[in-house]
Chains A and B, each alone.
Chain A
C-alpha cells in the first residue's frame, strides 16, 4: 500500500504544470482580416495601421517591387516567425515531451512558406547572448500564463512588417500570446522595433483546426526575372517614388493616412483626418470579394449565375 502511494506521489510530481494547453495539430488560416494584403499582397505605399517611425517610412518609400525580380538573394528569403503569422501560410504545430519526466520540452511550428521550421523552447532555458547568430525564425522561449502561451523571440534577422517594403529590423523583440478556444487558435503578435516603429505593433491572427490538412512540399529556385545590370538593386531615391499615392487614389483615402504612423491608429484620428485626394469610386473595384486566394482576382460584387462558388474557409 505504502509503495502504491509513493508511486502515485511520484507520478503526480512529474505531471506537467496544469496550466498547459495542447496546441499541436494542423491549423488552417482564416484570412478574415486584411485579406487582400495577406493573400495576393499589399498595395504599394499602404502603410496603414503601422506605427512607423520616420526611418521606417523612409526605408519603405525606397522600395521598388522589381527588387525581388532582380535581386535573387531576395527571392527565397523566408518569412520571419513574426511576419509568418500574418503572411500567407498554413501552420503545423508539434511538440516534444521528455519521455522520462513527461514534461513539455518544446513546441515546433512548420509553415509552408519556404519550409520555415521554428522551435519554441518550453524547458526554461535562457536566451543566447546578444552576439549569437540571428536567424529568420529567431530564438523563442515560452511560458504559460493560465491557458495562454506567451512566447518571447529574439535574435531575429531583418524581415517584413508588410511585404510592400515596410521592413522590420534585426533589433526587434517579439512577444506572442497563443490562446486556443475549442478548434480556433488566436495568435497575438507584439513587435517592438526601436528602429522601424515608434510604439509596439500589436496584431492578432486566427486559425482553425483542420486535421485533414496536408501541407505541400516547399521549394524555391532563384531566377533573374527582369533584365538588369549585375549588382543593381531597384529602388527609389528620397522623394522620387511616384507610386506612393496610388493606394489613396484607388480607395478614396487621405494620402496622409496611408503613410501610417501611431497617431493614425487611434479612433480620434478620424476627427483630424484630411480629406481624400480623390473621391472614392462609387463602388468597389479592387479585391472586392478577396477572402481566399481563389477569389481575390474577382471583382464582381454579384457573381454571374453559374460561377463557381468560393471554397469554404
Chain B
C-alpha cells in the first residue's frame, strides 16, 4: 500500500512537543512515544451495544447527526447489493472501524510508522509520522481506500497560537506535555458509518486521539476519540469515543472477513 502512495514530506522546524529547557534533537516517533500503545487490545462494548453487537435496523440513524440526504440514502440500504458488488467492507472503513466489536493489534512497522490491524474485517491501518526534522506529510495521489491515508503525531501541548513567549519566565507552560496519539485521515473510499448503511462520502475526514490510561486494578486501556466530518452527509462533526482493554497476548485474535449484514 505504501508503495502506491506518493506523498510529500514538508521540511520545516520540528514542532513535536518538547519539554522546557534546551532544544532537543528530533527523535523518530517510536523513540519519542510518550505512551506505549503496542499490543493486543479488545473493544469492550459498554456503549451503543445494540448498534454495534448486532446489525441495526434499516433507517436507524440514532446518535449520528445525519442530514436529510444521508437519511434518504440510508433508507435504500440493501446488503445483498453490496455483497453482489463485492462491497462487504463498506462498514469497515476508518470512520467506523474503531467502533466495531473486535480486537486490534498495534505494532511499529518502522521508526515512524505505527500499524493497527483489526481482526474484525481483517483491516490494516497505517499511521504515518513525519520523519524527524520535518513538519508533516501530505498525500499527493493514490486511490481512495477504506482506511484512507493517515498522518500521525504525538499530540502537542495545548497552545493558542504559535508565537514565541516574549518573556522567558512564561516559557514554562501549562499543558506542556502531550501524551495522546493524534491521527488525521483523508482519502477515504465512501462507505458506511454504521453497518445498516448510514453513509459517509469521499470528502469525509477523521480526527482521532488515542489516550492511554491505567486503572486501579492494573488493567491497561486506551480510549480513542473519533471525530468524523462529512459535509455531504453530516450536519456537524460526529464524535464518539471507544474503549479498548489490553490483553496479555494474541490468543483471542480471531480474524474474520467483512460482512455486509
Which residues of A pack against B, CB within 8 Å? 8, 11-12, 15-16, 18-22, 30-36, 48-51, 145-148, 150, 173, 175, 177, 179-182, 184, 186, 188, 190, 192, 200-206, 208, 251-253, 257, 264-270, 273, 280-285, 287-291, 301-303, 309-310, 312-313
Contact = CB atoms under 8 A, between A and B. Distances in A.
Given A18-B172, A148-B213, A287-B62, A313 B235 contact: yes
B109 interface: no
A268 B256 CA distance: 12
A150 B212 CA distance: 12
Given A22-B158, A33-B48, A310-B235, A177 B213 contact: yes
A190 B47 CA distance: 13
A277 B94 CA distance: 34
A186 to B, nearest CB: 5
A192 B155 CA distance: 30
Nearest to A191: B46
Interface string B44-63: 11111110011011111111
B120 to A, nearest CB: 7
Given A31-B63, A48-B50, A302-B75, A188 B213 contact: yes
Interface of B: 19-20, 34, 42-50, 53-54, 56-68, 71-72, 74-75, 101-103, 120, 155, 157-158, 168-169, 172-180, 182, 207, 209, 211, 213, 215-217, 219, 221, 223, 225, 227, 235-243, 245, 252, 254
Contact of B57 (A20, A33, A175, A282): A282
Contacts of A12: 169, 172
A269 B53 contact: yes
A203 B46 contact: yes
List of 4 A-B pairs having minimum Cβ-Cβ separation, nearest first: A146-B179, A301-B59, A35-B63, A48-B49
Contacts of A8: 168-169
B235 A181 contact: no
A24 to B, nearest CB: 11
B58 A202 contact: no
Contacts of A264: 45, 49, 53
B123 to A, nearest CB: 14
Given A21-B158, A206-B240, 8 more contacts: A30-B239, A36-B63, A147-B179, A148-B213, A181-B207, A184-B209, A200-B215, A265-B46
Most A CB atoms within 10 A — which of B207, B216, B252, B254?
Answer: B216
Contact of A208 (B59, B158, B239): B239
Query: Helix, strand, loop or mixed for chain B's interface?
Result: loop
Contact of B252 (A33, A268, A291, A313): A268
Given A18-B20, A179-B180, A290-B62, A173 B216 contact: yes
Contacts of B242: 204
A206 B43 CA distance: 18
Nearest to B179: A146
B244 to A, nearest CB: 10
Given A33-B48, A204-B223, A186 B211 contact: yes
A107 B174 CA distance: 15
6 contacts: A49-B45, A181-B180, A206-B240, A267-B103, A303-B68, A310-B235
A302 B46 CA distance: 29
B209 A303 contact: no
B261 to A, nearest CB: 12
A290 B62 CA distance: 5
A11 B240 CA distance: 41
A135 B48 CA distance: 29
B79 to A, nearest CB: 13
A301 B74 contact: yes
Given A173-B216, A208-B239, A290 B63 contact: yes
